[in-house]
Homo-oligomer: A and B are copies of this chain.
Amino acid sequence: MAREVTADAEGGKLRVDAVENRRRIIEASRELFAERGLDAPMKAIAARAGVGMATLYRRFPTRQDLLTEVFAEQFAECAAIVEKAVRETDAWRGLCSVVTGVAAMQAGDQGFSAAFVRTLPDPSAVERKLQSGMRGMRDLIIRAKRAGQLRADFAFADLAILLLANGGVVSQGGEAASAASQRLVAYMLQSFRADGVVQGPLPAPPELRLTDVVFPE
């Protein structure tokens, strides 16, 4: 009896270790793909994750398996943000949570999702899911306008503008990137308000001097 409990506990520990290894491999891959591109050496990924090559290959036999998994995680995270937002009773709150959440993901990702997509075995499946997420966003926008929260001249393209703008901030903002991104998003949400009521307080301004931008190192 005591023996069985021990065996169970042992088995549980193994499973916990396996989950933990898997998490570390995916995190390391995400970092290295971002730093060195999608052909970052498997050896470097194993080293960064702190696992042996045998463990890496047991979990992910090919690079494609790894790419699919890393992207699937990010995509699922993004889809979850949108799905949760669409269910919000307060459409404005839903819109804010999508914009804030996706911009934060972008700050941690720096546009590598797009590169991942092109390496997937079936990118059209991703695109179909994305289309469904966008229908949800469209409904959210219509509801927020009807509620008098979102300005009537807001256009769907404004979400694309925000992604591009945030992309510039996160890719060129250096150490201030994350703080600058949060402040940009707060300002943009302010400007989307139909009533203009000044929202506050803004996230603290980043340590970013104009000369750093005009004369980057």
Residues of A within 8 A of B (CB): 113-114, 117, 123, 127, 130, 134, 151, 153, 155-161, 163-169, 171-173, 176, 180, 183-184, 187-188, 190-198, 200-202, 205-216
Contacts and interface: CB of A to CB of B under 8 A. Distances in A.
B188 A187 contact: yes
Contacts of A207: 157
Contact of A215 (B127, B173, B176): B127
A155 B212 CA distance: 15
A171 B117 CA distance: 21
A114 B195 CA distance: 39
B164 A210 contact: no
Given A158-B187, A168-B164, A194-B198, A130 B173 contact: no
Contacts of A172: 164, 167-168
Contacts of A123: 215
Nearest to A189: B191
Nearest to A133: B210
A197 B184 CA distance: 19
A211 B130 contact: yes
A215 B206 CA distance: 30
A153 B186 CA distance: 12
A187 B192 contact: yes
Closest 3 interchain pairs by CB?
A168-B168, A155-B205, A196-B196
B180 A161 contact: yes
Of A155, A165, A212, A215, most buried by chain B (CB within 10 Å of CB) is A165
B169 A216 contact: no
A48 to B, nearest CB: 27
Nearest to A161: B180
B164 A206 contact: no
A184 B165 contact: yes
Contact of A164 (B130, B157, B180, B190): B180
